Amino acid sequence: MAALHWARELDRERMWSIEDCRHVSRRLERALVVAGERMIRVSPRTMGGSRRGERQSVLRQELALVHRSHPLVGVGHGIDPRRAGDVTKGRTSMQTHLSHHRSAPRVDQGRWRLDRERSSIEFHVPNFYGLMTVKGRFADYDGSLELPDLRLTIEAASLDTGHAKRDRHLRSADFFAVEEHPHIRFTAGGVAADGDHLEVRGELEVAGERLPLGLDVAVRAVDGELEIEAVTSVDQRRLGMTWSPLGMVRAPSRLGIRGRLTR
């Protein structure tokens, strides 16, 4: 057990608190008994309260340490308390981080294009009364960002759900009507930068129908490029996609975009 090895490295007396989770708890108890460890069972509610209190305590300690070493830098919840060196390296590591941050590219610096080789556009549609999900993707698309302008064009016929017969139906007039409307377009009407997020308001055009759509896009600088991720919900019925025998196809569908922006 990795947790047991780690605990023994601390070389101190300990009592294991095990959340009462039926068969999982029983297996863990047997392993600890064999290892000669002491333990006590607690209820899930008690354990949940303990975890919340511990997280707050650890966060307060981290903030105090960081502000003493560098008053202008804050930390988030992601620091592992077992890796105290991450927090206590002090000013040198903090300055390195700040220097890297200053040189990182910004979303408002020039024109960016979506790298299709390292990006994906996917859709998830509830089916069979919501008991299963049809997952698909678009293979051919082009996107660009130059604040305040954001545009995305998708070749509708490039959809792929891994099922040839279903894909032919999705390309038909019941859904995307790719012969009459070969392109899916999203055009932003307003883009507001808020830290590492973009708040986007625009219009989605699919199969000749238009629908207002908002996106909350997470942006992160990586190796001189920008990594983006956005997930939103779309009611496909408002785009004329009402085919649903016996009401099996449900709404809304989920649209996800993630990838890299390059210059």
Q: Which domains does the chain have, with CATH numbers?
A: 2-103 (no CATH), 112-262 (2.40.128.110)
Q: What is the pLDDT of residues 76-108, one digit of tens each?
A: 444 444 444 444 444 443 333 333 444 567 887
Q: Quick one: what percent of the chain has pLDDT higher than 70? A: 60
Q: Which residues contact 87 (CB under 8 A, 6 or more apart)?
A: 62, 65, 66, 75, 79
Q: Two tokens at 207?
A: 């199969």
Q: What is the chain's mean pLDDT, rounded? A: 77
Whether the pTM exceeds 0.85: the reply is no
Strands (E), 65-224: 112-127, 132-138, 141-146, 149-155, 159-160, 183-194, 197-206, 209-222
Amino acid at 26: R
Q: What is the pLDDT of residues 28-66, one digit of tens each?
A: 666 666 566 666 665 566 556 655 655 555 455 555 554
Q: Two tokens at 35?
A: 């290892």
Q: How many CB atoms lie within 10 A of CB 105?
A: 17
| Per-residue pLDDT at 37 | 64
Amino acid at 117: E
Bridge partners of residue 188, in order along the sequence: 202
Distance of CA 247 to the CA centre of its chain: 30
Q: Determine whether 212 is exposed, middle or buried from the number of CB atoms within 10 Å of its CB (0-12, 13-18, 19+).
A: exposed
